[in-house]
Structure formats: C-alpha cells, structure tokens
A and B are shown apart, each in its own frame.
Chain A
Amino acid sequence: MSPFRPDPTFYPSPRLAASAPRETLAYVALLNAANDGRPDALGVVDVDPGSDAYGTMVGRVEMPFPGDELHHFGWNACSSHLCPWAPHAHVERRYLILPGIHSSRIHVLDTRPDPRSPRLVKMIEPEELMERTGYSAPHSVHCGPDGVYLNGLGAPDGDGPGGIFVLDHETFEPRGAWELDRGPQFLSYDFAWHLGQDTVVTSEWGTPKMVRNGLDPELLLGGKYGNALHVWDLRRRRHVQTLELGAQYQMTLELRPARNPGKAYGFAGVVISLEDLSASVWLWYREGRNGRSRWAVRKVIEIPAEPADPGLLPPLLKGFGAVPPLITDLNLSLDDRTLYVSCWGTGELLRFDVSDPFHPKKTGSLRLGGIVRRTGHPNDESRELNGGPQMVEVSRDGQRVYVTNSLYSPWDAQFYPEGIRGWMALATNGTDGTFSLDQRFFLETETGIRPHQVRLQGGDASSDSFCFP
C-alpha cells in the first residue's frame, strides 16, 4: 500500500530539491564487456563522506541474462508527479527502470526495503516491448507527470523510426508508442521536456543498425548520423518543428533543458563536426511572443580538436592527426547556472557558467584519462588512466559531480582499442569557486566491467522535472 504522505523525495520546485538532504547512495549501470558470459549489473556506491565505505561499491545486482548492454536508466516516479494537472503525489520513487540497448529487455528493480540491495521485480521481454510499442533498443528513461517515459533507438527490425513510449508508473505495463504525428522525425537518442511550456525536445543519434557494430566512418563522413533536434507538443503528442544544425554537425545527443519550468531553453551536445573534428554545445530556445513564438537553435560552445602524434592514435583517427573532444554528455545544475561538459576523447570535464545561456563562460576544467593524454587521478598521478569523463551526474545541491568513463561497448573498442578500464570519480565545487577532484573518491571496477550512467538516491540534477518555478 502506498504511503498517505507524498514521497519526501518529490520536490515541488528545483530550489526545494536543492535544499533537501544530500544523497548517501549512488546507483551506477555496470556493463560487462569481458565477454565471459556474465551479465551486466547495477552497482550501489556509498557516497556518504561520513561512512567507512565512502567511495566503494557496497551492493551489486546482476541482470538475469548476459548481453543487455545497460546504458541509461531512471526512476519510476519523481518530482514531476506533483504537477497540478496530473497529481500523483502518492506514488513512490522506489523502482529503477533499466533498459538494455542490445537485448531490448527492460528490467524493473525495487530499491526497498534495502536500498543497498535492489531486487529485480519485473522484466519486460523484448518481444512484448516490440509488439506493444513498435520500438526496439530502449534507451533513455525519464519519469513524467503521468507515467515513465522511455525511448527506443529504432524499430524492431533495427531500422527506424525510433521514438518515445510510455510505461505505467505502477504496473510498468507498456502503454504503447507516444507519438500521434511524428512528422519528419526518424532518428532518436534522448528526449527532454519543458513542463511549463507543454513542449518536448528530442535528439538524434542513429538507428540500432547504424550504431551497434561501431561508429561507421562511411555513414559519419556522409553526414548520415543525426544532426537535428525536434520540437513536439507534449499535450497533443505532435511534431511541431525541426531544428537543423547542419549536416557537418554529427550526433546530437544529450539534452539538458532548463529546470525552471518558466524558462524555455536548454542545451544539447554535439559529438563531432566533420569540418574540424570539434565538438559543440547548442542552445535551443523559444523566441517571439506567445502565439507567434517559434523555437530556434544556435551554437554557444565550441571545443576544438587537439593535435596529436598519429602513432598514439587508434586506427580510426590515425589519418586525422588529432584527437576529437567528443562531447558525449552534459549536465545542468538545478539552479540552471552551471553546465558540465564531458569530452570523452580528450579526457576533460569542463565547467561553464551559463547564467546567461547565450554566452557561457568557462570557469573550470579537469583532466582525467583521454585517448592520448591518459591523465591519472590525483590520488596516484603516476598511473595512466584510459577512457575519459563520459556520463556526468550532478547532485541536487550542485556541489558534487559524479563521472564515469565508458560510452558504449562497440564504440569504446574503436576509440580505446586496448579496452577501457572502468572508473568512477567525483569532482567537487569549492565555496571559493575551485573545481577539483575528490582524492578520497576514485572507484575502479574489476577488469571488463565498465560503469555508465549514475543515478543518485532521492534524485539528481537530471532525473527530476518540475511544474513550479
């Protein structure tokens, strides 16, 4: 029976979320790339600085079958459940929904009664998912006001279109495809919404066939990966506008909308430019007045490639003589003021002040790993690391930034052919404006196990959305 009071981790506004007690546990998707027949897992990490086990893995649940390729995951319910038009205040933030991109299987894990050892309570089998939704390769998970929203990268046959589907937030039954009119949209990767604007934005990567055998240089040079954002009407479930970035901008991935529902803008990361291997961050925003408004997009951050000795580069990059930064993830603090950008190729985590979203100011940079640099962690600087800051998750209070280093196993092998050695690190913001790595927090996973997305107990900067400013 659900509780009589709203879940204490449902926060009406971003400000109230930021002032709630800090997280003590982090959940992290663990991909098994060892090819040893063992499955992927969900790890539980102690992030309570007062605990003896701080920075170590204190729990682990294996999925029942090998080969899922866990990637992103999310909560069944969160702060959006306080939205006034869909008041579901008495559902609990309790279940983690973990889709496997390769298996198309969706796992539901219960974090009660013991949050350190979640239990598998339900699976949606690939056949059922495909039949009920028409999608495969489930990817992003976002808790919406009236259900759990996910997207699939493609259709059951591995081509497109990919799109959004919804699960019931209590029974986890797939309710079917979300779109009523998808317009020209075909590719899918992430989705985000502005609850105050009844607007959804989606991004583009590639269909399952275009990504699961690795980055295809022919498709890339032909500009065939995604290069647009799509704007949708959340209520009417209709496509309203395509925002083209230009064919040279390949792979529009993570979307980070402003958390204040009154603000109509957000940031999108673009992995690579075919012109100069640079990576970029784009701002989508609404311009014009009510009734005559339209959405627009413009580049606000560009990170150049770093020249490098071809002898140190993997086969895919040898011909270019440079390391592309490869922006693979972004995260925005709940106060909408600080944007974190991970450059998985060059091994850099960047911090920007985005108080003025049109003119971001760089305020910090940390190096860790990288294709050529191999920067070590401050707790043992002599030891080289590989992989680079990839998935970024920010605590609700904006003080701590958790990063992990693997991207996606077929692509990991192309950029880090020697095999990524998994790690999770923590960057902290000092009160004096410094941005540094926590020396006490550096978690390395065993050989073959690679960490991916992190979710924090009680919610984090990217899991929740709000209907109140």
Chain B
Amino acid sequence: MSGPELWPWVGLALLGALHGLNPGMGWLFAAALGMQEGRSSAAWGALAPLALGHALAVGLVVLLVLGLGLAVPSRMLKFGIGAFLVGYGLVRLFRGGHPRWGGMRVGSRDLTIWSFLMASAHGAGLMVLPLFMAGASMGTAQGRPHSPHAHVAVASSVNTELMQAGMTVLIHTVSYMVVTGAIAVLVVHWLGLRLLRPLWIDLDRIWAVALILTGALTLFV
C-alpha cells in the first residue's frame, strides 16, 4: 500500500482518536472508575470492555453496509448512506440525548453494553462509513481484475471486503483505545478533573455537523 491507498486508514485512525477524545465515549468513565476504586488498575481494566463495545457498534454498521452492498447497486447504496448520514446528523443536532443506561457499579459486561449503546447512539459507526467505503472501493478496484471466472472473482471480492471491514474496525478501535486509555490515566494520576469543565466542549454537536458534512460529501462527490 502506498500513497492514496493509505489515506483512508490514516483517516480511520484519526477518527478513532477523535472518538477517544470525547468524554462521553469512555475515558471519563474509565477515569471515574479509577478514582472510585482509588487505583489506576480499575481504569486500565475498563479499557478492554469499552473498546469491545465501541468495536461492536462500529463493526455492526460496517457489516450491515457490506451486506447491503451485496444486494443493492453501489450507486444506490452510496446515495442511501449519504441521505441517512445527513438525516441522522440533523436529528442529533436538534434532538441530542443519550441512552439512559448505566451506573457506577459496573462490570465488564455492563461497560461493553454501555460503550456499545453510546457509540451507536452517537453514530460512531456511521461516521466511519465514508472512509470504509473509500478504502473498500480502492481495495476492490485492486482485488477485482477482469477475470473470466466471475464466481471466483465475486468470492474473492467478498473476502477482500471482509478483510477491509475487519481492518477498518481494528484500526479505528485501537486508535480509540490508545487515546481513551492515555487520557484516563493522565486524569487519574496527574491532571485531576479541574480541566474537565474548560475543555469539555459540546462534541455531540460537532459530531452531528460532521455526520451531515460527510453525508453530503458522500452524496455529491
């Protein structure tokens, strides 16, 4: 891989980092658990379940689109996804809100469910879609030579796309997890919560605008 093919992956990693930065996506939860238990191992312990929940939310959306891609022509799919992103972004912009689920006495399963719900509600998976599709189209352009054996080509392209999907979720989630863990531990050990209020800008609304913009780009570019 080189040059333009690398960009979607870099984008996915940056997006994962952006998700990790949002206090509503998990680092604040990990930090709170660390402070509650009075030991940073509680914050570390929260990372894997949070990441798993996030990965499930993103993976579900990506797989859904992969499945749709088998049944729906790609132009139509692109149009449908673009329209959905714009619509969902508008809903998030004017009617924020979260799933009401959770508490402070939580185990790994609870954290995974919470992270899945939060990432899903905030459209974390949706935001990944344009980059996934960009990556996938490059990947399939490469991996789909004009072959006389059409059925073999289809099978190999599905495999390639599954690989792409797996890589998408993995790169995004690893980046999310690194940022989430780094901030949580920084806060528990050194920073405390004094900076929370000045720095916690309303990322929900920025995300909503980002969803609308990526949707519009998908539609018109």
Interface residues of A (CB under 8 A from B): 2-6, 8, 10, 12-13, 16, 82-90, 146-147, 195-198, 234-235, 261-262, 467-469
Interface positions, chain B 34-50, Cβ under 8 Å from A, are 35-36, 38
Q: Would you give the 0/1 interface string for B101-138, flagging 1 where the beta carbon is closer than 8 Å to chain A? A: 11111100000001000000000000000000000000
- How far does the alpha carbon of A235 sit from the alpha carbon of B107 in the complex, in Å? 13
Q: Is the CB of B100 within 8 A of A197?
A: no
Apart from the given pairs A6-B196, A262-B38, 17 other A-B contacts in the complex at a CB distance below 8 Å: A2-B202, A4-B201, A4-B202, A5-B197, A5-B201, A12-B193, A12-B197, A13-B193, A85-B106, A87-B28, A90-B96, A197-B105, A234-B103, A468-B35, A468-B36, A468-B193, A469-B36
Contact check: which of A4, A10, A87, A195 meets B104 at CB < 8 Å? A195
Which 8 interchain pairs have the tightest Cβ spacing?
A85-B102, A12-B193, A84-B29, A198-B103, A84-B28, A87-B24, A235-B103, A84-B32
Q: Is the CB of A87 within 8 A of B98?
A: yes
Q: How far is the CB of A427 from chain B (nearest CB, A)?
A: 31
Contact check: which of A6, A197, A468 meets B32 at CB < 8 Å? A468
Q: Which residues from chain B contact A195 at a C-beta distance below 8 Å?
A: 104
Interface positions, chain B 11-46, Cβ under 8 Å from A, are 23-24, 28-29, 31-32, 35-36, 38
A85 and B29 in contact (CB under 8 A), knowing A196-B104, A197-B104? yes
Q: How far is the CB of B27 from chain A (nearest CB, A)?
A: 9
Q: Which residues from chain A contact B36 at a C-beta distance below 8 Å?
A: 196, 261-262, 468-469
What are 15 A-B residue pairs whose CB atoms fall within 8 Å in the complex?
A4-B201, A5-B198, A5-B200, A12-B193, A85-B106, A86-B98, A86-B102, A89-B197, A198-B103, A198-B105, A235-B103, A261-B36, A467-B32, A468-B193, A469-B35
Q: Is the CB of B194 within 8 A of A16?
A: yes
Q: How far is the CB of A123 from chain B (nearest CB, A)?
A: 23
Of the candidates A83, A87, A235, the one having the most CB atoms from chain B within 10 angstroms of its own CB is A87
- How many residues on chain B are close to A (CB under 8 Å)? 29
Contact check: which of B98, B114, B193 meets A88 at CB < 8 Å? B98
A198 and B35 in contact (CB under 8 A), knowing A10-B197, A87-B28? no
- How far does the alpha carbon of A176 sit from the alpha carbon of B49 in the complex, in Å? 32
Q: Is the CB of B23 within 8 A of A87?
A: yes
Q: Is the CB of B201 within 8 A of A86?
A: no
- How far does the alpha carbon of A147 sit from the alpha carbon of B36 in the complex, in Å? 23
Q: Which residues from chain A contact B35 at a C-beta distance below 8 Å?
A: 468-469
Q: Would you give the 0/1 interface string for B64-95, flagging 1 where the beta carbon is closer than 8 Å to chain A? A: 00000000000000000000000000000000
- How far does the alpha carbon of A89 sit from the alpha carbon of B193 in the complex, in Å? 13
Q: Is the CB of B102 within 8 A of A235?
A: yes
Q: How far is the CB of A366 from chain B (nearest CB, A)?
A: 36
- How far does the alpha carbon of A4 sit from the alpha carbon of B23 in the complex, in Å? 14
Chain B residue nearest to A198 in the complex (CB): B103
Chain A residue nearest to B100 in the complex (CB): A146
Q: Which residues from chain A contact B194 at a C-beta distance below 8 Å?
A: 16
Q: Which residues from chain A contact B204 at a C-beta distance below 8 Å?
A: 90
Q: How far is the CB of B147 from chain A (nearest CB, A)?
A: 51
Q: Which residues from chain B contact A86 at a C-beta distance below 8 Å?
A: 98, 100, 102
- How far does the alpha carbon of A2 sit from the alpha carbon of B204 in the complex, in Å? 12
A82 and B196 in contact (CB under 8 A), knowing A2-B202, A196-B36? yes
- How far does the alpha carbon of A16 sit from the alpha carbon of B192 in the complex, in Å? 11
Q: Which residues from chain A contact B23 at a C-beta distance below 8 Å?
A: 84, 87, 89
Of the candidates B38, B102, B114, the one having the most CB atoms from chain A within 10 angstroms of its own CB is B102
Chain B residue nearest to A199 in the complex (CB): B105
Q: Would you give the 0/1 interface string for B182-221, flagging 1 where the beta carbon is closer than 8 Å to chain A? A: 0000000000011011101110110000000000000000
- How far does the alpha carbon of A261 sit from the alpha carbon of B193 in the complex, in Å? 15
Contact check: which of B106, B196, B205 meets A4 at CB < 8 Å? B205
A84 and B31 in contact (CB under 8 A), knowing A5-B198, A146-B100? yes
- How far does the alpha carbon of A343 sit from the alpha carbon of B201 in the complex, in Å? 46
- How far does the alpha carbon of A237 sit from the alpha carbon of B202 in the complex, in Å? 30
Q: Which residues from chain A contact B197 at a C-beta distance below 8 Å?
A: 5-6, 8, 10, 12, 89
- How far does the alpha carbon of A468 sit from the alpha carbon of B197 in the complex, in Å? 14
- How far does the alpha carbon of A13 sit from the alpha carbon of B105 in the complex, in Å? 18
Chain A residue nearest to B201 in the complex (CB): A4
- How far does the alpha carbon of A196 sit from the alpha carbon of B28 in the complex, in Å? 14
Q: Which residues from chain A contact B24 at a C-beta distance below 8 Å?
A: 87
- How far does the alpha carbon of A95 sit from the alpha carbon of B210 in the complex, in Å? 31
Q: Which residues from chain B contact A198 at a C-beta distance below 8 Å?
A: 103-105
Chain A residue nearest to B102 in the complex (CB): A85
Contact check: which of B103, B193, B196, B202 meets A85 at CB < 8 Å? B103
Q: Which residues from chain B contact A83 at a C-beta distance below 8 Å?
A: 32, 104
